[in-house]
Amino acid sequence: MKALLSVLAGALLALVVGDLLILGVGQSPAEVYRLLLEGTWGNQYGFAQVLYKATTLTFTGLAVALALRAGLFNIGAEAQLALGGFAAGALGLLLPAGLPAPVAVVACIVAAAMGGAVGGAIPGALNAWFGANEVITTILLNFVILFFLNWLVTAHLHVPETVHTPAFTNGTVPRLSAFIPAFKGSAANATVLLAIVAAIVTGWLVFRTRYGYELRAVGLSPDAAEAAGIVPARVRVATFTLAGALAGMGGTNFVLGYKHYYEDGFTGGAGLIGIAVALAGRAHPLGIMLAALAFATLSQGGLAIHALVPKQMADILQGVVILAIAIASRQRS
Amino acid sequence: MIGLILQIVRLATPYLFAAAGGTVAEQSGIVSLGLEGYMLAGACAAAFGSYYGGSVWSGVLCGAMGGAVLAAIHGIATIRFRADQIVSGIAINILAVGTTRFALRVAFGSSSNSPRVPGGASGLLEIAGLLSIFAVSAVIDRTRFGLRLRAAGEHPEAATSVGISVSRVRAVAVVASGILAGLGGTFLALDQHQFSDEMTAGRGFIALAAVIFGRWQPLRVGAACLLFAAAEALEINLQGTSAIPSQFVAMIPYVLTIVALAGIVGRSVPPAALGKSGH
């Protein structure tokens, strides 16, 4: 109940700041919010775009939440997402044309998970074995990994005059508009189902397995967990690796479902917003999916109101919501 | 050679300001993930102040205030409301990106850059950047406030028990960090005679890396800033030659700091109460 209240308080604060911004540029809040809802949940294309954006955010939200359950802060979802997308895009190019499509898709999803897992395993190992603060290492590694991918793509793999790799054909996932014609033009694709499965599996792992029990024990009290025979270092490495894999799979949404190539910078802050999604969703799979939809609505809604109010209002409101969440999720000291 | 040294000092100026600020705040126990946001707000406010005030000095004043306002938000959230310092820092950075773009768009009809504004004062700001490190060092090591600052960051309970208001010390420290980082952003905007979208380009995080790499000791932090700026100068001077890809040179500050954090070459140990509320 208290959790729900704090999320509502955040939404309310965002609404107040939003009103002030809208009035500040001389528009009517009622009219702007009407447009925002109409451009998202009010028509099929807008709704499909919300689904598309929520898909990536669900993956990054899960990646942050899983680590959070173990008492770790994963600020590296941005780079893990990029690594996953890159791995999927690279494998897509390498797969032989004759491979059956389902096999190719699964192979690319596994590649995305493995790419992200590498990005998670590094800070996990640095934390567990060298005691390096994971908040700082994941922030710094974001830069290192994104610079590295930028070099790989721009120096070796890009299509001339672009910052993306060549497109592939085997391993792609169909868009939802293939089944629901009203979604025509939207990037929403079948990886939304993968996101739902990932949320369910993550929930099962955390709440129904021995590993999940150990993970939560380490998150609540590493000392008590150790006394009970759990090895916190091992749990931390495993958790960060899994978290990275989850964020990495998020890369399939853009790479397998939308563009069919890896593009430098495609993550666009989805890893950072994943932190907000995980916190607003109280690190629970269902909460994460709802929070992902909410943040996706804000982001897509920004585009719908751009004629009246600069779309950057959505960024400001995201910041306000996260600040409110920060206040609600008081320190554990 | 002198040309190279001047180039390094010039490149280091935004780092020196922001890292001096970061050192003050972190020594008091406040995590400074928002340095990037303070800098960005400072750069934007400096351009606005210079444009509407018509002089470099109104730009400098507004730039310092721009950083201070965002830092004050971080301070109120984390000190008064005991918000999680890491999450609040992330929020500050997102707020800064959104607010500066929004302001650009509303004022100038473009969310990517401002028109040309009066600028300059670069030499003065470069000297001030260098001095800010020494000033922070002197304040932390030689003044009563510095003693209180370190007490707030190392043993807040002990500090409280001898009558120090940890909240007040931290509030002063966090606003000071905003002013300093804001000046770092100011230098960028006034040096280039305009503000452009996300013009700080991660410099706040390099400054944060310098704070950690310099083990929270002001003079070491200043040296780290110069070292990172030297790497950047190397990158610029190597451009066009294919010796080392620029992306690898750009990684140097981050990789060095990760290595330092992992304790492979001497461990960086943060203030004991960093990130913990003081009451």
Residues 6 or more apart whose CB falls under 8 angstroms from that of A225 comprise A214, A217, A218, A232, A235
| Average confidence (pLDDT) over B191-219 | 94
Interhelix angle B35-53/B85-108, rounded to 10 degrees, is: 20
Contact A316 B277 (CB under 8 A): no
Nearest to A191 by CA among A81, A300, A301, A315: A81
Which residues of chain B neighbour A268 with C-beta distances below 8 Å? none
Search chain B and give the residue with CA nearest A124. Answer: B262
Does residue A132 sit at the B interface (CB-CB below 8 Å)? yes
The whole-number pLDDT of residue A151 equals 95
The whole-number pLDDT of residue A7 equals 77
Tokens of A196: 């739902």
| Number of A–B residue contacts, CB under 8 Å | 147
pLDDT in tens, A295-318: 999 999 999 998 899 989 999 999
Contact A316 B275 (CB under 8 A): no
Does residue A65 sit at the B interface (CB-CB below 8 Å)? no
Which residues of chain A neighbour B94 with C-beta distances below 8 Å? 269, 272, 315, 318-319, 322
The whole-number pLDDT of residue B119 equals 85
The whole-number pLDDT of residue B242 equals 64
| Average confidence (pLDDT) over B214-221 | 95
Selected for mutation to probe chain A from B69, B70, B73, B84 (highest A CB count within 10 Å) is: B84
What ipTM score was computed for the predicted complex, to two decimals? 0.92
The residue extents of the domains of chain B are 2-261
Q: Which CATH number fits domain B2-261: 3.40.470, 1.10.3470, 3.10.620, 3.40.30?
A: 1.10.3470
Search chain A and give the residue with CA nearest B93. Answer: A319
Does residue A133 sit at the B interface (CB-CB below 8 Å)? yes
Which residues of chain A neighbour B105 with C-beta distances below 8 Å? 310, 312
Whether pTM exceeds 0.90: yes
| Average confidence (pLDDT) over B201-217 | 94
The Cβ of residue B90 has, within 10 Å, a number of other Cβ atoms equal to: 26
Which residues of chain B neighbour A276 with C-beta distances below 8 Å? 90
Which band of pLDDT confidence, cut at 50, 70 and 90, is reported for residue B279? low
Selected for mutation to probe chain A from B33, B155, B247, B267 (highest A CB count within 10 Å) is: B247
Q: How far apart are CA A214 and CA B145, in angstroms?
A: 45
Calculate the average pLDDT of chain B: 92
Does residue A156 sit at the B interface (CB-CB below 8 Å)? no
Q: Which of A132, A141, A327 sits opposite B81 (nearest CB)?
A: A327
pLDDT in tens, B73-127: 999 999 999 998 999 999 999 999 999 999 999 999 887 889 998 888 889 999 9
The Cβ of residue B188 has, within 10 Å, a number of other Cβ atoms equal to: 26
Tokens of B137: 């060092």
Task: Phi first, then psi: give them for residue B277, nearest 5 degrees.
Answer: -70, 155
Full set of structural domains in chain A with CATH: 45-306 (1.10.3470)
Search chain B and give the residue with CA nearest A130. Answer: B262
Contact assessment for residue B26 and residue B216, using Cβ atoms and an 8 Å cutoff: yes
The whole-number pLDDT of residue B278 equals 61
Contact A312 B101 (CB under 8 A): yes
Residue B240 has pLDDT above 80, yes or no: no
Predicted confidence pLDDT, tens digits, chain A (333 residues):
666 777 788 888 889 999 999 999 999 999 999 999 999 999 999 999 999 999 999 999 999 999 999 999 999 999 999 999 999 999 999 999 889 999 999 999 999 999 999 999 999 999 999 989 899 999 999 999 999 999 999 988 999 999 999 999 888 999 999 999 999 999 999 999 999 999 999 999 999 999 999 999 999 999 999 999 999 999 999 999 999 999 999 999 999 999 999 999 999 999 999 999 999 899 999 999 999 999 999 999 999 998 899 989 999 999 999 998 888 776 543
Classify A62 as helix, strand or coil. helix
Percent of chain B with pLDDT over 90: 78
Does residue A139 sit at the B interface (CB-CB below 8 Å)? yes
pLDDT in tens, A40-77: 999 999 999 999 999 999 999 999 999 999 999 999 99
Selected for mutation to probe chain B from A6, A140, A145 (highest B CB count within 10 Å) is: A140
Which residues of chain B neighbour A126 with C-beta distances below 8 Å? 258, 261-262
**Closest approach of A91 to chain B, Cα-based (Å):** 24
Q: How far apart are CA A254 and CA B140, in angstroms?
A: 49
Report how far Cα B227 is from the mean position of its chain's Cα atoms. Answer: 16
pLDDT in tens, B62-83: 999 999 999 999 999 999 999 9
Does residue A20 sit at the B interface (CB-CB below 8 Å)? no
Q: Which of B83, B202, B267 sits opposite A330 (nearest CB)?
A: B83
C-alpha separations of A157 from A267, B142, B205 in Å: 18, 55, 28
